[in-house]
Structure 1
Amino acid sequence: MTSDPQWLTREEIRAWLTLAGLVESLPTVLSAQLKQDAGINNFDYMVLSCISDTPHQTVHMSDLAAFVGGSISRLSHTLTKMENRGWVRRRPDTDNGRFTEVALTQEGKDVVAQAAPGHVREVRRVMIDVLGHSQTLQLGTLLDQVLAAVNPDVQRVFDERFPDVDLHAYDG
């Protein structure tokens, strides 16, 4: 027999709905700015910027999928579109052919360079400037704990990408 769930309190409901509302609203806000400035959406920017931030602007497709939190199917569709635009190239990994590498082209680098300044301004406007540095780091700590429960693969990729950043140092 299944026990009744531990129902949420009104405060927990409000907190949960706030997070859910943010999760739904934020990509729309970021995509609107990116479309205006660079003609791309937030998911496209996440893909391109992830590749851009790696050594040699090349990343394994599986790590890229984890980083952007998208399915391999969605990522593959996006990469096909980007390949057709000349922004990325896919190729087998020279060291291990079981992996596919995604490399940023010069055209892709140009798109990131065009989109990045406005994106950073928008991220600052909607989060950093609202919370301030200290609360932003505290929020990162809290969200990292939730991410570990929701998608540990994404958290692993973030930890690998930012080995020098310990969000849990900002618990207090």
Structure 2
Amino acid sequence: MTEQRWLSDEESRAWKKFIAVVELLPGTLDSQLQRDAELTHFEYFTLAMLSEAPEHTLRMTALAAVTNSTLPRLSHVASRLEQRGYLRRSPCAEDRRATNASLTDAGFEKVVHTAPGHVGTVLANVIAPLDPADVQDLDRIMGKMLKKLDPENRFKAQGADSAA
């Protein structure tokens, strides 16, 4: 029988700091987006991913993949965004079983007006505390974690060069 491996003191310190960031950062992002744009981070991210897609349209399954969401969660959020006029869903012309999500003009405007504040929050809370070497290390470390957590690159973040 093999002995259970536990975290070393150094690994435990790093893990606790990582968990603190994982827990605190979503609230920081949500607070800014709620205050400035009346959006949750997930709603904004959904709109942002559509804004980067060809013709601002993705199949719901592809949008779920790039937002790391389940289809039921995405459908719920898409309904809210649709009610607000930021997104519309329609049958996919190539596959009648699939549904497309498209960013409306109002949705695109929402992304354009919301992006500067969101990027400012990311810069202030994630990037500014780091020096350029730290940013490179963060990219490298997150890349290693993503290769383990998302080996099929469904989230499309491995090698991503797009803005936050």
In structure 1, how many angstroms separate the alpha carbons of the residues matched to 2:142 and 2:154?
10
- The amino acid of 1:13's aligned partner reads S
Q: Which digits, 9 at most, give the CA deviation of each residue in 1:45-73, with x for residues without a partner?
A: 11111111112111122222122222222
Q: Is the contact made by 1:63 and 1:157 (CA closer than 8 Å) also made in structure 2?
A: no
Q: Is the contact made by 1:35 and 1:41 (CA closer than 8 Å) also made in structure 2?
A: yes
Q: CA RMSD in A?
A: 1.9
Q: Determine what percentage of the aligned residue pairs are the same residue.
A: 34
- Relative to structure 1, the CA distance from residue 51 to residue 14 in structure 2 (aligned partners, 3 Å threshold; closer, same or farther) is same
Corresponding residue number in structure 2 for 1:124: 123
TM-score using structure 1 length? 0.84
Q: CA deviation at 1:155?
A: 5.3
Q: Which digits, 9 at most, give the CA deviation of each residue in 1:14-68, with x for residues without a partner?
A: 1111111111111100111111111111111111111111121111222221222
Residue segments in structure 1 that go unaligned for 5+ positions in a row: 166-172
- Relative to structure 1, the CA distance from residue 78 to residue 156 in structure 2 (aligned partners, 3 Å threshold; closer, same or farther) is closer
Q: Is the contact made by 1:127 and 1:136 (CA closer than 8 Å) also made in structure 2?
A: no
After the TM superposition, list the runs of 4 or more consecutive aligned residues in structure 1 that deviate by more than 4 angstroms. 153-156
Corresponding residue number in structure 2 for 1:143: 142
Corresponding residue number in structure 2 for 1:92: 91
SS at match of 1:90: strand
TM-score using structure 2 length? 0.88
Higher helix fraction: Structure 1 or Structure 2? 1
Residues 10-159 of structure 1 aligned to structure 2 (within 5 Å):
10-154=9-153, 157-159=156-158
Residue segments in structure 2 that go unaligned for 5+ positions in a row: none
- The amino acid of 1:139's aligned partner reads L
Q: CA deviation at 1:116?
A: 0.6
In structure 2, how many angstroms separate the alpha carbons of the residues matched to 1:76 and 1:4?
45
